[in-house]
Amino acid sequence: MHRRAFLATAAAILLVPVAGQTVAVQAGEADQKPLFRFVQVNDLHVQAAEPALASQDQQTYKQANDKSRWVVEAISAASFPPPDFVVGVGDLIHGEGLERLEPDLRALREILKPLGCPLHPVVGKHEVVQQERSEQYLKPYRDAFGTDRSEYTFVHGGILFVALNNSGAPSAEAAQERNRWLRDVLSAGKDRPKIVLCHIPLIALRDEATLAKSFGFSSYRDGDPGTLKLIEEHRDTVIAVLSGHLHLTGMKRQGEIFHISIAGTASYPCDIAMYEVFPDRIEVAVRQLPATLAKSDPSIHGEARHGRDFTDSDHRTAEEYQRGRPDERRFTIPLSVGKRPK
Ligand SMILES: [Zn+2]
């Protein structure tokens, strides 16, 4: 072989860590083929037909179950690059009352049946009617997904995923208990790159005063500052915090951490997100449901609910405020050395 050609080939070989082993791959391959993929779904708000609703307040979003079925089918169909797993970042059911949790979870599991890969669920506000850490309210969720699934970690492709229950701490004690658990798992995994999954965002993903109005609930970000503080203490290894809850899509980089909140499917813009993990970066692409489904229930941040639309300093139109800017819907998370899968 010509010496120059050989050197060029040698330079194009990369040593890539895959599932604990170091594997040599061609540079072009490392660029194009992800180590693994996963999909984020949240805020499906699936609701069982029975028991009959006691009041209109319990009514879920229009076509919530149809939209969830579309998502499961899209993920399982050949048209979508098959993910290794799905993370379900809360409000997968509508709930709204203790007696409705079990039937809604049953309807959800029925819809999820054709999903061709594992689902890692996260407790949302609606799974426990905002009663974070209540044994009574957690029981239907644990019966549906497993007793060890209300707060847990798992490792995939060298990244530690931390599924945190921040479904709306009703007391200072609940927040303390949550943060005790988080402190332990962050320090046990201190040398690993990490992605945190939690239903309620830890920072405001729009201008704070505007978001408080357009969301209409004080939980537009986690009310307990202790959780964010703990995560920021591990900023050298925490890649991102993935959340839902707001029913809008947004991304902000605060310090070294990407805070990503996806709208979910219940109301416009009706989004899910695909994450492709490469040795040196994560490519994130938000995908909107087909127009008829996406528009079947309007944004909770606009005209239909408030009689007016909202914009903020970074989002100059109502559409951009609700959907996020193009660079919040497709972007790259570069991985510094401590954040690379190993
Ligand atoms: Zn929701």
Strands (E), the chain: 13-18, 21-26, 36-41, 85-88, 119-121, 152-156, 159-164, 194-198, 238-243, 250-254, 257-261, 271-277, 281-288, 330-334
Answer yes or no: do 113 and 27 share one domain: no
Residue 21 is predicted with a pLDDT of 40
Distance 23 CA to ligand 1 centre (A): 41
Could you tell me if 15 and 41 lie in one domain? no
Q: Are 116 and 12 in a shared domain? A: no
Question: What is the 126 CA–ligand 1 centroid distance (Å)?
Answer: 7
Q: Find the 234 Cα to ligand 1 centroid distance in Å.
A: 28
Nearest Cα to Cα of residue 41 among 268, 289, 265: 265
pLDDT at 49: 86
- Give pLDDT < 50 ranges for the chain: 1-27, 29
C-alpha 294 to ligand 1 mean position (Å): 15
**Judgement on whether residues 15 and 129 belong to the same structural domain of the protein:** no
Distance 337 CA to ligand 1 centre (A): 35
pLDDT single digits (tens) 153-172:
999 999 999 999 999 876 78
Q: Are residues 28 and 46 in the same domain?
A: no
Please tell me whether residues 160 and 26 are part of one structural domain. Answer: no
Alpha-carbon distance of 329 to 322, in angstroms, equals: 12
Instruction: Indicate the DSSP class of residue 93.
Output: B
Rounded to whole angstroms, how far apart are CA atoms 270 and 324? 12
Query: Are 22 and 40 contained in the same domain?
Result: no
The DSSP bridge partners found for residue 247 are: none
SS3 30: helix
pTM above 0.95, yes or no: no
* CA 283–ligand 1 middle distance (angstroms): 25
- The predicted pLDDT at position 31 comes to 64
What SS3 class is residue 95?
coil
- Cα(30) to ligand 1 centroid in Å equals 37
Cα 172 to middle of ligand 1, angstroms: 23
Looking at the fold, whether 192 and 121 belong to one and the same domain comes out as yes
Distance of CA 115 to the CA centre of its chain: 17
Q: How far is the CA of 239 from the centre of ligand 1 (A)?
A: 24
245 CA distance to ligand 1 centroid (A)?
5
Distance 300 CA to ligand 1 centre (A): 10
Question: What is the whole-number distance in angstroms between the Cα of residue 174 and the centre of ligand 1?
Answer: 21
Ligand 1 center–CA 24 separation, angstroms? 43
Question: How confident is the model at residue 153, as a pLDDT?
Answer: 98
Q: Which domain holds residue 306?
A: 36-339
276 CA to middle of ligand 1, Å?
Answer: 25
Q: Kindly report the number of other CB atoms within 10 A of residue 170's CB atom.
A: 14
Q: What is the pLDDT of residues 4-48, one digit of tens each?
A: 333 333 333 344 333 334 344 444 545 689 999 999 999 999 999
- Hey, what are 78's tokens? 């050949």
One domain for residues 136 and 149: yes
Q: What is the pLDDT of residue 58?
A: 66
Three-state SS for 249? coil
Q: Which residues surround ligand 1, an ion (CB under 5 A)?
A: 43, 91
Same domain flag for 2 and 107: no
Q: What is the pLDDT of residue 47?
A: 94
Q: 127 and 6 in one domain?
A: no
Chain centre to alpha carbon of residue 48: 23
Q: Which pLDDT belongs to residue 187?
A: 97
Residues 98 and 29 in one domain: no
Give the number of domains in the chain. 2
Q: What is the CATH number of the domain that holds 218?
A: 3.60.21.10
